[in-house]
Structure 1
Amino acid sequence: MPRHHETRELPYSDEQMFALVTDIARYPEFLPWVVALRIRDDSEHETVADMIVGFKGLRESFSCRVHKQRPHEVIVSYIDGPMKHLSNEWHFRPAEGGGCRVDFMVDFAFRSRMFEALAGQMFDKALRKMIAAFETRADELYGAGRVTSSDGRSESLPG
Structure 2
Amino acid sequence: MPTHAENRDLPYSPRQLYDLVADVERYPEFLPWCRAARIIQRKDNEFTAQVVIGYKMVRESFVSRDVLSPPGGGVDGDGPNGDGSGRIDVTYEEGPFRYLNNHWIFEPKEVDGKPGCRIDFFIDFEFRSHLLQKVIGALFNEAALKMIDSFEKRAAELYGDALR
How high is the TM-score relative to the length of structure 2? 0.87
Instruction: Determine the structure 2 residue equivalent to 1:120.
Output: 137
State the shift of 1:129 in Å.
Answer: 1.0
1:87 aligns with 2:101: yes
Instruction: Determine the structure 1 residue equivalent to 2:126.
Output: 109
Instruction: Name the amino acid aligned to 1:31.
Output: L
1:24 aligns with 2:24: yes
Instruction: Determine the structure 1 residue equivalent to 2:38.
Output: 38
Higher deviation after alignment, 35-44 or 96-105? 35-44
SS of corresponding position for 2:115? coil
1:15-58, CA deviations, whole angstroms, 9 ceiling, x for partnerless residues? 00000000111001001111111211124511111111111111
Aligned-partner Cα distance in 2 for 1:3–1:114: 18
Aligned-partner Cα distance in 1 for 2:120–2:65: 19
1:55-85, CA deviations, whole angstroms, 9 ceiling, x for partnerless residues? 1111110000000000210000100000000
Aligned-partner Cα distance in 2 for 1:51–1:102: 22
Aligned-partner Cα distance in 1 for 2:44–2:18: 12
How high is the TM-score relative to the length of structure 1? 0.89
RMSD: 1.0
1:119-149, CA deviations, whole angstroms, 9 ceiling, x for partnerless residues? 111011111111110000000000012x1xx
- How many residues end up aligned between the 2 structures? 147
Contact 2:30-2:150 within 8 A present in 1 as well:
yes
Aligned-partner Cα distance in 2 for 1:125–1:4: 10
Unaligned runs of 5+ in 1: 148-153, 155-159
Aligned-partner Cα distance in 1 for 2:129–2:18: 32
Instruction: Determine the structure 2 residue equivalent to 1:157.
Output: none
Unaligned runs of 5+ in 2: 72-85
Identity, % of aligned positions: 46
Instruction: Determine the structure 2 residue equivalent to 1:138.
Output: 155
Aligned-partner Cα distance in 2 for 1:100–1:133: 17
Instruction: Name the amino acid aligned to 1:78.
Output: Y
Instruction: Name the amino acid aligned to 1:134.
Output: F
Aligned-partner Cα distance in 2 for 1:44–1:141: 26
